[in-house]
Amino acid sequence: MKLIKKKMLYMAVVALAGAGMLVMGILRGNAQMSGVGSGMLAVAILKLFQYFRIMKDPDKVRQLEVVQNEERLVFLANKSAAITLYALIIIAYIAMLTLMFMGNTALSSGIAYAICAALIIYLIVHAILNKKY
Amino acid sequence: MRTKIADYRKEKRVTQEELAQAVSVTRQTIISLENGKYVASLPLAHRLAKYFGVTIEELFVLDEEEQKI
């Protein structure tokens, strides 16, 4: 039950942020901002309804908790994230080189800085985790 | 790493779903464990061994290569 309440709180924050963006978008006449805001709001409301329904059924709450904490699924999520990050860095590197050869140095430098930042973050996180475990 | 989960499960006449519920995992995890595609963590290995009333060594058998290490 603790997990579902945490998820509901998170979705409530997303709904509030979405509503805020929607109102700001309408007031400023920014269609992109209102579009993103309405999307966030709609998803958050749908998820909140889903969690309210799950909360009424203890079996479904238990099932959700098992799926969320299940070690194989956590392992798969971690592995997928690691592979995705690796692919992202390679794609960014290729994009950086392509833009550099095309003469777009500003964008190329931006991507290069982003790659460097990601690698520095990786080294810092690795060092912290190495001490922790 | 080989597991004898399927053998003990059949001996105890429980389904994969029942075993999954008993050790708080999904049925897919039991299938992956039985097929040797996934290696259980120590806490899960402990829960499985406790469920079948055997030791972890009886449930999970190291391959020859792994035993040499």
What pLDDT digit, counting tens, does each position of A17-68 carry?
999 999 999 999 899 999 999 999 999 999 999 988 888 888 888 888 888 8
Distance (Å) of CA B60 to CA A65, B30, B31, B47, B52: 27, 14, 15, 13, 12
**pLDDT tens column, A68-92:** 888 999 999 999 999 999 999 999 9
Nearest CA in chain A to B22: A66
pLDDT reading at A128 higher than 70: yes
Range of the domain at A42: 2-69
Q: Do A72 and B32 touch (CB under 8 A)?
A: yes
Same domain? For A61 and A20 the reply is yes
Q: Do B25 and A66 touch (CB under 8 A)?
A: yes
Q: Which of A69, A100, A115 is the last residue of a domain?
A: A69
Same domain? For A65 and A78 the reply is no
Domains, in order of start, for chain B = 2-68 (1.10.260.40)
Chain B, window 20-39: residues with a beta carbon less than 8 angstroms from a chain A beta carbon: 24-26, 28-29, 32, 38
Same domain? For A86 and A27 the reply is no
**pLDDT tens column, B17-53:** 999 999 989 999 999 999 989 999 999 999 999 999 9
Looking at residue A62, its pLDDT comes to 82
Measured between beta carbons, the chain A residues lying within 8 angstroms of B28 are: 72
ipTM of this complex: 0.80
Q: How many domains does chain A have?
A: 2
Q: Do B26 and A71 touch (CB under 8 A)?
A: no
Same domain? For A41 and A58 the reply is yes
Looking at residue B49, its pLDDT comes to 96
Q: Which amino acid is at A47?
A: K
CB-based contact, A72 to chain B, within 8 Å: yes
Same domain? For A65 and A77 the reply is no
Looking at residue A1, its pLDDT comes to 67
Q: Which residue, among B19, B23, B26, B46, would best test binding to A if mutated, counting the most A CBs under 10 Å from its CB?
A: B26
